[in-house]
Amino acid sequence: MTDIARLQIASPKRNSKEEAGWHGFFPYYAGYPHSFADKLIESAELAPGAKILDPWNGSGTTTYSAADRGYCAEGWDVNPVMVIIARARLLPTSEADALGPLARDTVKGIRADPRRLLDKDPLLTWFEKPLAALIRGLEHRIRDQLVGAATFSIEGAKVERMSALAATFYVALFTITRELAGQFQSSNPTWLREPKPGETLVDCQRRKLLERFVEAIDIMATSLGTRSHAGPTTGPIMTSLSVMDTAQAKPAAETVDLILSSPPYCTRIDYSAATRIELAILYPRLRISMEALGRKMIGSTRVPKEFLTPRPEWGDTCLAFLEKLGKHPSKASGGYYLKTHLDYFDKMARSLAALVPVLKPSAAAILVVQDSYYKELHNDLPTIIGEMGVAAGLSLPRRDDFPSARSMSGINRYTRIYKRKSGALEAVLCFQR
Ligand SMILES: C[S@@+](CC[C@H](N)C(=O)[O-])C[C@H]1O[C@@H](n2cnc3c(N)ncnc32)[C@H](O)[C@@H]1O
């Protein structure tokens, strides 16, 4: 049993120092840095062989830290791209020296073959035809060389079966493709906008692209080879990463010793759009549409198809917020915005109800949650998720608050016209079953 009072809770704010080295290759929205997860897991003093779950695993900070400390690590994410990214992060240091030679072999003889392009290939959104065909060629080669039928077959994709080596090569391809499309990056660091009509698309010489790919792999190999370990690790570590929608999950009961996660925020970040370019690269394998994936996301910006109404188990704070939101005089508040917020809270409440039974009796669930604003209305997500967790059967013996200047809700420049406190609050909610 985790002694909640003794947990070491550092600030969950990300910092640039932590975003360098190996962890810097996974620059997706993370809820907290590696040092936060590592200190917390160490202080939980779990028994050897204990299992740690992150149900919204994203770039895999929790599964990396859990495996690094020798625990069984389980990570879920509804976005298959994030499952590949989290897998790459788990590549053992021992593999570092193989990466460079393998990358040089991978790029040999790759040509820009336009026949590789699909009808309405999504890569053509940002890239000229020859470059899009070259990126497809590189993706094909990675698949032929490193991915077997257990992962990609005509029946479909099971990205959970992809090796860490193949996943690392995909991450290198994601990295250089993002770099190439840099001119379309918006103020939100993971978001690539679509070019405006008539805007010049990206082109690049074949040799330059392939050299940059090898260089990216070489840099990853150096970072991996010099990565420090929390160690000492005894025996093989079990890691399981799956594509899972927490709002639909029916996981095995009482199997998990600790949940550590940061759930999707309610700040109109479209988590699927943040991986638009990665999804475009993987499109021939995954064949999932942005629309279908976007709908499943907690925090989706799409209006839900079903008619939703608030439920008592969402708690008083949530119900009071929704009431004010629905009556807000600004445009679409009682329509579009109310509907997308109802969708968020519905999925979050269903996810928490699905998650509680996976915890062993007395096990802890630590959730890092950020608040936000709708216009001037405070969306006190830490309190709302706290109340939802209690309604789902957990107790909430501890909550640590950290004010943050880096608010996700500040991304939209229009938000500034409303009177509100600047920055955001990140809360670490410590639940216990
Ligand atoms: C705040 S991020 C998690 C960050 C993570 N702790 C890390 O280190 O990167 C939230 C994640 O939840 C995922 N997500 C959104 N809706 C989901 C759902 N219905 N089921 C499972 N995962 C979902 C998103 O794809 C995103 O990766």
Q: Is 354 helix (H, G, I), strand (E, B) or coil?
A: helix
User: Measured at the alpha carbon of residue 82, what is the angle toward residues 368 and 61, in degrees to the nearest 5?
Assistant: 40
Q: Kindly give the number of the ligand 1 atom that is closest to the alpha carbon of 300.
A: 16
**How many other C-beta atoms lie within 10 A of the C-beta of residue 10?**
17
Give the tens place of pLDDT for each residue, 114-153: 998 988 899 999 999 999 999 999 999 999 999 999 999 8
- pLDDT value, residue 413: 41
Contacting residues for 191 by C-beta, under 8 A, at least 6 apart: 185, 273, 274
Which tokens sit at 274?
A: 């943040």
Mean pLDDT to the nearest integer, 278-282:
95
Q: Which DSSP string do the residues of 303-368 spell out, in sequence order?
A: PPSS-----GGG-HHHHHHHHHHHH--STTIIIIIHHHHHHHHHHHHHHHHHHGGGEEEEEEEEEE
User: Measured at the alpha carbon of residue 352, what is the angle toward residues 59 and 422, in degrees to the nearest 5?
Assistant: 65
pLDDT higher than 60, residue 415: no
- pLDDT value, residue 322: 97
Confidence of residue 411 (pLDDT cuts 50, 70, 90): very low
- Which residues sit with their C-beta closer than 6 Å to ligand 1? 28-31, 56, 58-59, 61, 76-79, 82, 244-247, 261-262, 264, 271, 296-298, 347
- pLDDT value, residue 269: 73
Confidence of residue 412 (pLDDT cuts 50, 70, 90): very low
Question: Residue 79, CB half-sphere, CA atoms under 13 Å: how many?
Answer: 28
Which residues, listed in sequence order, are joined to residue 266 by a DSSP beta bridge?
none
Give the tens place of pLDDT for each residue, 262-277: 999 888 777 888 899 9
Q: 268: CA distance to ligand 1 center in Å?
A: 13
Q: Which DSSP string do the residues of 83-97 spell out, in sequence order?
A: HHHHHHHT--GGGHH
Q: Are 330 and 367 in contact (CB under 8 A)?
A: no
- pLDDT value, residue 421: 57
Confidence of residue 164 (pLDDT cuts 50, 70, 90): very high
Distance between CA atoms of residues 242 and 101, nearest Å: 30
Which residues, listed in sequence order, are joined to residue 370 by a DSSP beta bridge?
426
Q: Kindly give the number of the ligand 1 atom that is closest to the alpha carbon of 298.
A: 16
Distance between CA atoms of residues 142 and 137, nearest Å: 9
Q: 242: CA distance to ligand 1 center in Å?
A: 12
Q: Kindly give the number of the ligand 1 atom that is closest to the alpha carbon of 297.
A: 16
Decide which of 260 and 420 is more confident: 260
Q: Kindly give the number of the ligand 1 atom that is closest to the alpha carbon of 77.
A: 22
Q: Are 23 and 34 in contact (CB under 8 A)?
A: yes
Which tokens sit at 58?
A: 């994203």
Confidence of residue 419 (pLDDT cuts 50, 70, 90): very low
Give the tens place of pLDDT for each residue, 105-116: 999 999 988 998
Which tokens sit at 154?
A: 């005509």
Residue with tokens 């995954």: 286
Confidence of residue 427 (pLDDT cuts 50, 70, 90): very high
Confidence of residue 178 (pLDDT cuts 50, 70, 90): very high
Mean of all residue pLDDT scores within the chain:
90
Distance between CA atoms of residues 260 and 42, nearest Å: 12
Q: For a substitution probing ligand 1, which of 259, 297, 351 has the most ligand atoms within 8 Å of its CB?
A: 297
Confidence of residue 414 (pLDDT cuts 50, 70, 90): very low
- pLDDT value, residue 405: 62
The residue whose C-alpha atom lies closest to atom 27 belonging to ligand 1 is 58
Give the tens place of pLDDT for each residue, 281-321: 999 898 888 888 999 999 888 888 888 899 999 999 999 99
Q: 150: CA distance to ligand 1 center in Å?
A: 25
Q: Kindly give the number of the ligand 1 atom that is closest to the alpha carbon of 79.
A: 25
- pLDDT value, residue 289: 83
Mean pLDDT to the nearest integer, 167-189:
89
Distance between CA atoms of residues 21 and 45, nearest Å: 27
Q: 30: CA distance to ligand 1 center in Å?
A: 9
Q: Kindly give the number of the ligand 1 atom that is closest to the alpha carbon of 246.
A: 20
Q: 348: CA distance to ligand 1 center in Å?
A: 12
The residue whose C-alpha atom lies closest to atom 26 belonging to ligand 1 is 58
Question: Residue 246, CB half-sphere, CA atoms under 13 Å: how many?
Answer: 31
- pLDDT value, residue 395: 97
Give the tens place of pLDDT for each residue, 222-236: 999 888 877 655 556
Give the tens place of pLDDT for each residue, 50-77: 999 999 999 999 999 999 999 999 999 9
Q: 59: CA distance to ligand 1 center in Å?
A: 9
Q: 194: CA distance to ligand 1 center in Å?
A: 23
Confidence of residue 26 (pLDDT cuts 50, 70, 90): confident
Q: 112: CA distance to ligand 1 center in Å?
A: 35
- pLDDT value, residue 417: 42
pTM of the entire structure? Answer: 0.93
- pLDDT value, residue 406: 53
Residue 203's closest CA among 135, 142, 139? 135
Q: 62: CA distance to ligand 1 center in Å?
A: 12
Which tokens sit at 372?
A: 């936000």
pLDDT higher than 80, residue 361: yes
Q: Are 58 and 80 in contact (CB under 8 A)?
A: no
Distance between CA atoms of residues 279 and 80, nearest Å: 9
Give the H or E element holding residue 362. strand 359-370
Residue 159's closest CA among 271, 243, 278? 243
The residue whose C-alpha atom lies closest to atom 19 belonging to ligand 1 is 245
Q: Kindly give the number of the ligand 1 atom that is closest to the alpha carbon of 82.
A: 27
* DSSP, res 149: T
Confidence of residue 37 (pLDDT cuts 50, 70, 90): very high
Q: Are 1 and 363 in contact (CB under 8 A)?
A: yes
Distance between CA atoms of residues 93 and 71, nearest Å: 17
Question: Residue 364, CB half-sphere, CA atoms under 13 Å: how many?
Answer: 24
- pLDDT value, residue 204: 92
Decide which of 269 and 429 is more confident: 429
